[in-house]
Amino acid sequence: MKFYPLFVHAGMLLLLAAPLIGCSGTPGSLPATADTPDPGWHDVTLQHDALAREFRFYVPEELPDAVPVVVVLHGGSQSMTAIFEAGAGGTQEWMQIAEDEGVLLLVPNGTNLDTGAPSGDKQAWNDCRPGTQARPDADDVGFVTAMLDWAAGRFADTPIALDTDQAFVTGSSNGGMMTYRLATERPDRFAAAAAFIANRPQPSECPEASVPVPMLIVNGTEDPLMPYEGGTIAPMFGGVGTVASAAATRDYWGAVNRADPTQRSVNQLPNRTPDDGSVVVCENDPPATASGAPVRFCRVDGGGHLMPSIDHRLQGRQNHDVEGARLAWSFFQQQIDP
């Protein structure tokens, strides 16, 4: 069966399924001096697992002495560049967050849905769904880890201190499912994770999570592609794997994180735009022990397969009461040690 990716069409996300080679879009190697890169986007190619993997990083105009790192994962059939183009949706807000908060963004590229190539604009992640990837052996976890290691080395002799051992990771849809995988397999490298419009694959090719990682989950109840109640992904396209329900995904991470649902608090976010046909209700489960981690689960009643956004509006069932990226950043900030 053909794998149909996640792609942007008519303003809506659809789910259908090392040594440095280049920097700042030009061939070459790391500069002889370890100067802080200029503000803006920089493109890098990193050899990993016999593939020339690609990623971008974004440097804001001003950086504090201690710089948070956020890994932003694109959805299926998207790319590291497409998610930040005009009209791409709520992910664009991360650039403004980077400027406002002094955050370094790391944005990797998946492998091509048709060819498995590491470059292009129709990319996807090996997110643990059996038999749905053009390159099922892609070591995306190792690649993201290598990207973090590269960033640590690149900034090592600059005035900028990156905490690449405790980065944050976020993504939507296929990128959200990959967020779960990274939190599962590399909990030592991520201080918190935020997954949008994504449930856990069921069945899964990957190991079970065992180490708590603070987790934010945001799902729409009217998502036609990532079923809120679980089941077949994108059934209108013949299906591209199956997932657990949003509630089961929340409960899974609650168990991993040793969160306490008996102490759950619930709040509805302000309904700023009543005409969008949706509201956001968030549940907060605190850790039961000092070794646990919180789970924040936000149900977008009436929301579809779109990340909530106030300023980056798309056609379709999109909530406009909250900026999704800001919701994630607020959650991440709560996990930063004072």
Q: How many domains does the chain have?
A: 1
The bridge status of strand 104-108 relative to strand 69-73 is parallel
Query: 15 near 173, Cβ under 8 Å?
Result: yes
Burial of 61 (0-12, 13-18, 19+ CB in 10 A): exposed
Work out whether the CA dihedral 92, 94, 96, 99 comes out positive or negative: negative
Q: Determine, yes or no, domain membership for 290.
A: yes
Domain containing 113 — which CATH number? 3.40.50.1820
Report the alpha-carbon distance of residue 252 to residue 208 in Å, rounded.
10
Check residue 338 and give its pLDDT.
62
Q: Which residues contact 228 (CB under 8 A, 6 or more apart)?
A: 219, 220, 221, 222, 245, 246
Q: Determine, yes or no, domain membership for 48.
A: no
Residues present in the chain in total: 338
Q: What is the pLDDT of residues 155-191, one digit of tens each?
A: 998 888 898 989 999 999 999 999 999 999 999 999 9
Domain span at 105? 6-17+57-335
Q: Which residues pair with 266 in a beta bridge?
A: 283
Other CB atoms within 10 A of residue 282 CB: 20
Q: Determine, yes or no, domain membership for 257.
A: yes
Q: Determine, yes or no, domain membership for 215.
A: yes
The end-to-end CA distance of the chain, in Å, is 50
Q: Determine, yes or no, domain membership for 145.
A: yes
Q: Which residues contact 246 (CB under 8 A, 6 or more apart)?
A: 199, 217, 219, 228, 229, 230, 297, 299
Q: What is the pLDDT of residues 257-294, one digit of tens each?
A: 999 999 999 999 999 999 999 999 999 999 999 999 99
Q: Determine, yes or no, domain membership for 135.
A: yes
Check residue 36 and give its pLDDT.
84
Q: Which residues pair with 73 in a beta bridge?
A: 171
Q: Determine, yes or no, domain membership for 28.
A: no
Single out the residue of 139, 141, 138, 245 nearest to residue 183, CA to CA: 141
Q: What is the pLDDT of residues 324-337, one digit of tens each?
A: 999 999 999 999 86
Report the alpha-carbon distance of residue 45 to residue 26 in Å, rounded.
10
Q: Determine, yes or no, domain membership for 73.
A: yes
The ranges of the chain with pLDDT < 50 are: 1-33
- Residue 201 corresponds to which tokens in the numbers above? 């694959």
Query: 109 near 75, Cβ under 8 Å?
Result: no
Check residue 117 and give its pLDDT.
96
Give this prediction's pTM: 0.91
- Residue 185 corresponds to which tokens in the numbers above? 């397999």
Check residue 20 and give its pLDDT.
35
